[in-house]
Structure 1
Amino acid sequence: MNKAIKVLAGLLVAQLLVILALQTNKPGTTQVAAQPLISVNLNTVDTLRIDDSDGGQVTLRKEGDRWQITNYGNQPADQNKVAELLQKLSDIEVRWPVASSAAAAERFEVAEGSAQKTLTFQTGDRVIDSLFMGTSPSYRRIHVRANGSDDIYQVELAQHDIPANPESWMDKTVLEFEGDILSVNAGDIAVSRDTNGDETSWKLAGSATDSTDPTLINTWVKRFNSLVVSALVPAQEVEPIIVQNPALTAHLSSDKGDADYAFYTANEKYYVKRFGSSALYEIASYQAKPIVEIEAKKFMLNTSDAEPPQ
C-alpha cells in the first residue's frame, strides 16, 4: 500500500510540473524584464537636491567636473561620495512593484509631500526627475517611488546613503596641506629639513641635531598633511571667534608651495582657517590639540617628554 501511494504521489508531482511548464510557455505569458529604477541619464544631471521630512535640505551642484554644496558656502563636496551615490542609483533595477496605489504610497511614506526623503534631479534649473524614499522593511532596503509612477518598489538602498544635511557631504579634507613639507614655523617652533626627502633629516631651530628625535618631529609635521575638519562655521559666527588671538599660527612650505594656518579656541572647541580664505572650520580636539599644544621639549631625546603628540 505504501509503495502504491508513493507511486501515485510521484505521478501527481510529475503532472504538476508538466502543467507549470505548459503555462509558462503559453503564448502571451508575460515575462517581466528588469528595468532601471531611474529613467533619466544621470550623466546629464548637474544638480541634486535632497529634502527630508524633518526639514533637512542639501543642494549639490556640479561646477565643471567638481561637485559643490551650494547651500553650505559652496564648499567642495566629497567627490567620491557623490559618485558612489550616482553609481548606486544607476545600478538599481526593478521588476515587480510591491504596491501601486495612492493609499500604499502614503502607507510606505513615498507620497509626494509626505515622503521621508525626496531626491530631485536637475539639469540647470530644470527638474528632470524625482525619487521618493520611504520606510525600510529590512536592513539596507527601503521603499521607493519614481515621480510620475504609482509603482512602489523595494530596493537595496539605505536612508543614510542619501543624507539631507550638508555636513555629511562636505569634503572634510579641504584643509589638508599638499606636498612634501620642507619647513614649519609655528609659534616658538621652527623645524626644517633637507630637500632630499629623508624623514630623518629634520632639524629643530635652536637645538643641537643630536639632541632631537627627527621621527617625533616628522610625526608632528605630517599632521598638517592629514587635517580633517568637522564642519563649516556659519558666516555670522566667524567674527566672534577670529577676533581673538589665535592659539597658534603656522607657516608651512612644501615642494608645492606655501600656506598659513590659524588655530583658535572658543567655547571649549577648536577652529582652524587657512589664510586667503574666509572659511572657518570646526576641528575635533584630537586633531587640533597635538598640533596646537606643541613644545620644543617634546622633540628632545632622552627626556620623559620625548613622545609623539597624542
Structure 2
Amino acid sequence: MDHHTSTTTRAWLLALRTPAAFYPAILLGLQIVLAIALTWAARGTLDPGAAQGPLLAFDPKAVTSLRIEGAGESVTLARKGQDWLIPELADFPAEGAKVTALIDRLAGLKRVSPVATSAAAQQRHKVADDGFERKVTLKAGDQTLATLLLGDSPGFKRQFARPAGDPAVYDLDLPLFEVGNRRDDWLRRDLLQVDQDQITGVATADWTLTKEKDAWSLAGTTDKPDPAAVINLLGRIGALGYRGVLGTEDKPEYNQAAPTLELTVQLADGGNRVYRISPAKDSKDSILKAADRPWYFKLSASDLEGIAGLDRDRLLGLTPPAVPPAAGDQDQETDDAAAGEDAAAADAQTPQDPEAQREAEQAAAAVDLDDASAPEETNEGAAPQDAGADQTMAPGAPGGQ
C-alpha cells in the first residue's frame, strides 16, 4: 500500500469516528429496530385470532361459586363437595356438567385483538360497568377470581365482552345462551324420574295397579289391564319432567289444599313416591309437591300427559259406548243421509257440457215414453240409444256409451 492510500484510509476512519458521522448511523439503527418492533406489535394487535394468553387468569378448579346477573333476574351457583347447587332455591341441585362446562369455557378464552377501548364503545356494545347483558363473577370463597361482562352479539354464536377493569372490548366465541341468568336455566331435570322397571304399583283415589310376578292387575276387577296402557303409564311416570322449581314455601296460589290428583308410586326396594298435583291459579300449569322433596315443582300439561285424567276404562283398554240418538233424530239423520247420497249421485252423473245436458234430458224423456208404452218419438237432435246400454244412464254422462 503506498503512502497516499494509507493516508486516505486513516482519514476515512477518523471521519467515521467524528459525531457528525457516528450519530446518524446510531439513529438509523434505532429506526430499524423500532420499525421491526412496531411490525410485530401490529401483527399481534391487528390479527383477531392472535392469541396473547388467557383473557381471564384463574384456576377453574379453584372456583367455588359463580354469579350470573342479567336484566330482571340473577342466579348464583355454588359448589358443595362434588355437587353444584342453587342457593336461592334452597340448594336445589344444578346441572353440574353444564356449570363445569361454562367455567372451563371461560378459563379457555384467549385475549385477542380488541375491537375498541373507549368508554363510549363500552356503552355502545353493552359491556359497561353500569350497562351489560350478562355479568359473570367467579369466586373462590369470598375472593373474586374474575369478572366478565357480556354485551351485544356481533354475529352467530359470538359476543362482545370485557373483563372488569380492562377498558378493551373483545369479540369472543361465547354465545349468550350458554350464560343463562335464570334459575330455570341451570336446574337438574331428573329429580322426579325413576326407573320404570322398579315400579311395582301405582295408585290414585280411583284405581290401583299392582305388579305380581311380572303380571299387572287392577284392583276391583278380574279383567286384565291393557298392556299398552300400563306400559305407557309407567313410561310417563318414569320420565316425569317439570318446567320449573318454585322454592320450598307453600303458597295459596298453588291450590295444594284442593289437589286434582294424588299419585302413589310403589318401588321394588319398598320405598314409594307420593305426588300431590293441583292446578296453579290463573295458569294452565300444575303444581306438584313430592312427599320426599322440599320443593314445589311447576309442570305443564305435556308433563302430565298420560297421567292426569287416566281412569279405569282407559287402563282396561275400554272405549266408553257412544250415546245413541233419539228415534226421531235417527230417522231424520237417515233421510238426510239418503238425500245427500242421491244428490251426490245426481251431481256425479250430470254432464257439465250444456249440449250434452240437453241431449241427456231428451234421452230421459224418450225413456219415460217407453216406460209408458207410448208410441216411440224421437226428438230432433236427440242422441240415438244403444240397445245394450244401461237405460238409466244418459248418453254423454260419465260411464255412458
Please give the TM-score of this superposition, normalised by the length of structure 2: 0.62
- Point out the structure with the larger strand share: 1
Match of residue 289, structure 2, among 273, 278, 285: 273
Question: Aligned AA for 2:319?
Answer: S
> Structure 1 residues 87 and 212 mapped into 2: Cα distance closer, same or farther (>3 Å)?
same
Question: Aligned AA for 1:38?
Answer: L
Which residue in the other structure is 1:152 paired with? 169
Q: Supply the distance in 2 between the matched residues of 1:145 and 1:243 (Cα, whole angstroms).
A: 47
Unaligned runs of 5+ in 1: 1-22, 306-310
- Point out the structure with the larger helix share: 2
What SS does structure 1 have at the residue aligned with 2:57? coil
Match of residue 304, structure 1, among 316, 319, 330: 319
Which residue in the other structure is 1:106 paired with? 123
Offset of residue 226 of structure 1: 0.9
1:2-29 Cα offsets, whole Å, 9 max, x none, are xxxxxxxxxxxxxxxxxxxxx9xx9643
Which residue in the other structure is 1:220 paired with? 233
Q: Supply the distance in 1 between the matched residues of 2:69 and 2:254 (Cα, whole angstroms).
A: 31
Q: Supply the distance in 2 between the matched residues of 1:99 and 1:123 (Cα, whole angstroms).
A: 31
Which residue in the other structure is 2:251 paired with? 238
Q: Is the 1:48–1:122 Cα contact (8 Å) retained in structure 2?
A: yes
Which residue in the other structure is 2:188 paired with? 171
Offset of residue 235 of structure 1: 5.3
Which residue in the other structure is 1:258 paired with? 272
Give the greater-gyration-radius structure (CA). Answer: 2
Which residue in the other structure is 1:92 paired with? 109
Which residue in the other structure is 2:57 paired with? 39
1:155-187 Cα offsets, whole Å, 9 max, x none, are 112222112121222223222235621111222
Would you say 1:71 and 2:88 are equivalent positions? Answer: yes
Q: Supply the distance in 2 between the matched residues of 1:126 and 1:181 (Cα, whole angstroms).
A: 47
What SS does structure 2 have at the residue aligned with 1:93? coil
> Structure 1 residues 57 and 259 mapped into 2: Cα distance closer, same or farther (>3 Å)?
same
Offset of residue 131 of structure 1: 0.2
Q: Is the 2:89–2:248 Cα contact (8 Å) retained in structure 1?
A: no
> Structure 1 residues 304 and 102 mapped into 2: Cα distance closer, same or farther (>3 Å)?
same
Offset of residue 262 of structure 1: 1.0
Which aligned runs of 4 or more in structure 1 are off by greater than 4 angstroms? 234-237
Q: Supply the distance in 1 between the matched residues of 2:219 and 2:182 (Cα, whole angstroms).
A: 45
1:234-266 Cα offsets, whole Å, 9 max, x none, are 556524535523212122122343221111124
Question: Aligned AA for 1:74?
Answer: D
> Structure 1 residues 276 and 239 mapped into 2: Cα distance closer, same or farther (>3 Å)?
farther
Which residue in the other structure is 2:134 paired with? 117
Q: Is the 1:202–1:218 Cα contact (8 Å) retained in structure 2?
A: no
Question: Aligned AA for 1:191?
Answer: L
Question: Aligned AA for 1:281?
Answer: F
Which residue in the other structure is 1:204 paired with? 218
Match of residue 148, structure 2, among 123, 131, 136: 131
Q: Is the 2:250–2:296 Cα contact (8 Å) retained in structure 1?
A: no
Question: Aligned AA for 1:190?
Answer: T
Which residue in the other structure is 1:294 paired with? 310
Offset of residue 63 of structure 1: 1.2
What SS does structure 2 have at the residue aligned with 1:202? strand
Q: Supply the distance in 2 between the matched residues of 1:238 and 1:217 (Cα, whole angstroms).
A: 34
> Structure 1 residues 160 and 47 mapped into 2: Cα distance closer, same or farther (>3 Å)?
same
Q: Is the 2:86–2:93 Cα contact (8 Å) retained in structure 1?
A: yes
What SS does structure 1 have at the residue aligned with 2:89? coil
Match of residue 204, structure 2, among 186, 193, 197: 186
Match of residue 60, structure 1, among 77, 96, 112: 77
Q: Is the 1:99–1:152 Cα contact (8 Å) retained in structure 2?
A: yes
Higher alpha-carbon deviation: 39-48 or 181-190: 181-190
Higher alpha-carbon deviation: 125-134 or 75-84: 75-84
Q: Is the 1:94–1:155 Cα contact (8 Å) retained in structure 2?
A: no
Number of residue pairs the alignment of both structures matches: 274
What SS does structure 2 have at the residue aligned with 1:288? coil
Offset of residue 217 of structure 1: 0.7
Q: Supply the distance in 2 between the matched residues of 1:82 and 1:233 (Cα, whole angstroms).
A: 21
Please give the TM-score of this superposition, normalised by the length of structure 1: 0.79
Q: Supply the distance in 2 between the matched residues of 1:299 and 1:232 (Cα, whole angstroms).
A: 31
Q: Is the 1:120–1:127 Cα contact (8 Å) retained in structure 2?
A: yes
Offset of residue 121 of structure 1: 0.4
